Amino acid sequence: MAAIPIPACPSDVTMAPDEPLKALCHKCRGEMIYVTSLPHPRSPEKMMRTTFVCRACNQTRNYSLSIPMAEAYAAASAPKRAS
């Protein structure tokens, strides 16, 4: 059985340190909205199952992210408090 080649990550997917934290839909490339993070069923001490929704595609997307990355998305999408 021949090995399946894994495509290289395109350079436009990497994030600059000053770039805002956002997840892009792989189908329409629109910005997705963070919904929730739950402990990953197979590795709850290391990973979170993170859910986003793409309003343009009307679909949810689940990603397995490290705990610090999932917490960063949660903090970035938290409602802003009025001063």
**Domain edges within the chain:** 21-77
pLDDT attached to residue 14: 53
pLDDT of residue 17: 63
Residue 81 is predicted with a pLDDT of 73
Give whole-number Cα distances, 41 to 6, 28, 50, 52, 71, in Å: 26, 29, 12, 18, 17
CATH of domain 21-77: 2.20.25
The pTM for the full model equals: 0.70
Given pLDDT bands bounded at 50, 70 and 90, which one contains residue 4?
low
Q: What is the pLDDT of residues 41-62, one digit of tens each?
A: 898 899 999 999 999 999 999 9
Q: What is the mean pLDDT of residues 23-36?
A: 91
d(CA 66, CA 78): 18
